[in-house]
Amino acid sequence: MTYYRTTMIAALLSATAISGAYAADPIKIGVVTPLSGTYAGIGQQVKWGLELATKEVNAAGGIMGRQVELTFEDEEANPSVAVQKADKLFQVGKVDFLTGTVNSGSTLAVGQVAERAGKLIATTVSFADSITGDKCSPNVYRVNARAGQQSAALAVWLSKERPKAQVFYLGPDYEMGRSTVAAFKSSAEKVGASSTGEIFAPLDSKDYTQYFGQLRAAKPQVLYTSVAGNDTVRLFTQLQEFGLLNNLTVVGASGTVTAQNIGAIGKAAEGFVTGVGYSAEIDTPENKKFVAAFRAANKADPDLYGADSYGMIYAYKAAVEKAKSTDTDKVRAAFADLKWSTPQGEKTLRAGDHQAVQTMYVVRVTGGKFKIVSQVKGEDAIGPDTCKRH
């Protein structure tokens, strides 16, 4: 009996799908994002950003007269869950487009699901260079800045602030840690810095003091680190405890010091510098309007994830209106070198690797808050297109 019932339901479902989209049918965007678990805080920003932009677009008449409808699925920051949920949204939910993946593994895995389903996806959060590099896909877009853009921006700033700096590297010993250190090292050495040593500490190290002997012996002027979360709290406060923060410029990955851990790090975070694609401090009318609307809607400041997710809806709107269709191939053609405006200014989706080119910002912790200290033009931070699947 159940068999017949499921086939009946399947038949009914496919019948509604075949009946085609009326002009008034909503455009469906699936959102696979972590709403629970370690990355729930990021997923929250993604949700807020997407919902705010969708509300604005719908209030202004939607996309080509069609309302936009978001469907959320919790991926628990787990690529295998993300794959199931994405499959469900494509096959059962019949979404036109998909976004929201946070960790890079999820983005890569969901990208393959999208290829099989013949649909397009965009990440608004994932940093791993490979997503628009050696693991690029014709169906995957990234509207946020990747790790390489962040480190290039930071390196440009460093070369001006501390020319020919002696840099010591300390990263967590796993893929993200090693790739961020390698990326910054190559960017920094291109602009004249040199290396005095590197250490990869196990993830969740409790005591970084055991590496301080090597750090002290190397006599660096600059320390680059890409530890994150609680590890940052320990590293920074232990550096302070041992008096090593004096005369040392500490720079790092954009995920090293965040809203989640800056309170616990306290004074030890002062002076930390990083490169980011967005800051709520950006002093433009567009961004001020966005920040005000975001605060009014969510009682919280937007971070880079919220801002980039907000911008993503406008990228899709611009592409669909240019293509005059939600058809995958037509939208893909429209995305090629698409320019659209976002809270952080105009972005361009590079045709080759599907990576957004945008102005990058260098921010420094001052009085417990990130302040913008420098800007780097999009073309100076983007780096070459290494995607081989054009």
Residues engaged in binding another protein (CB under 8 A): 38, 41, 173, 199-202, 204-207, 209-214, 216-217, 229-230, 233-234, 237-238, 241-243, 260-261, 263-266
Residue 173 or 189 with smaller CB distance to another protein: 173
Residue 217 or 336 with smaller CB distance to another protein: 217
Q: Give just the sign of the alpha carbon dihedral 177, 182, 184, 188.
A: positive
Residue 178 or 322 with smaller CB distance to another protein: 178
Residue 324 or 369 with smaller CB distance to another protein: 369
**Cβ 245 to another protein, closest distance in Å?**
13
Cα–Cα distance for residue pair 97/75, rounded to 1 Å = 17
Cα–Cα distance for residue pair 238/231, rounded to 1 Å = 11
Residue type, 166: Q
Give the pair of three-digit tokens for residue 102.
């946070």
Residue 235 or 320 with smaller CB distance to another protein: 235
**Cβ 209 to another protein, closest distance in Å?**
5
**Cβ 260 to another protein, closest distance in Å?**
5
Give the pair of three-digit tokens for residue 343.
């809270």
Cα–Cα distance for residue pair 389/22, rounded to 1 Å = 35
**Cβ 259 to another protein, closest distance in Å?**
9
299: left (phi over 0), alpha (psi -120 to 50) or beta: left
The answer to whether the beta carbons of residues 215 and 223 sit under 8 Å apart is yes
β-strand pairing of 194-201 with 222-225: unpaired
Residue 360: in which H helix or E strand, if any?
A: strand 360-366
**Cβ 44 to another protein, closest distance in Å?**
12
The alpha-helical segments, DSSP class H, found in the chain are: 2-18, 40-59, 79-91, 104-117, 147-161, 175-190, 212-218, 230-241, 262-265, 285-298, 304-323, 328-335, 378-381
Residue 212 or 348 with smaller CB distance to another protein: 212
**Cβ 379 to another protein, closest distance in Å?**
37
Residue 260 or 298 with smaller CB distance to another protein: 260
The answer to whether the beta carbons of residues 217 and 186 sit under 8 Å apart is no
**Cβ 302 to another protein, closest distance in Å?**
19
Residue 166 or 230 with smaller CB distance to another protein: 230
**Cβ 240 to another protein, closest distance in Å?**
9
Cα–Cα distance for residue pair 329/183, rounded to 1 Å = 33
Burial 357-366 (b: 16+ CB within 10 A, else e): bbbbbbbbbe
Residue 44 or 187 with smaller CB distance to another protein: 44
Classify 359 as helix, strand or coil.
coil
**Cβ 332 to another protein, closest distance in Å?**
39
